[in-house]
Amino acid sequence: MNKKLFSSIVIGASLFSSLAFNSNNTQAKTVTPKPGIVTTVRLAHLYDDDGNLISDRVLLANTPWRSGDYIQIPNVGNFYQVIC
């Protein structure tokens, strides 16, 4: 996968539920193209493509966002790529 493409912001399962991010270095199990619109339910924390929390930005609750790829990280959760 193109690193620049995936370097856009990845948002966590906090779209639908709160999730504490596990800082263990874990590889994504599945990357699935899933273009569409996702809507946050509560504040959604943002992560870079290395899984590091972007501490100075969040997505506001009840806001729609265009999504690109969807990944599942074992023992961590589900993440959507946000296209700005």
5-26 per-position pLDDT tens digit: 343 444 443 433 334 444 455 5
59-84 per-position pLDDT tens digit: 999 999 999 988 887 777 788 888 87
| C-alpha distances in Å from residue 4, one per residue of 7, 21, 39, 45, 49 | 5, 23, 24, 20, 9
Strand 44-47 relative to strand 77-83, pairing: unpaired
In this structure, what DSSP letter does residue 42 have? Answer: S
Q: Report yes or no on whether pTM surpasses 0.85.
A: no
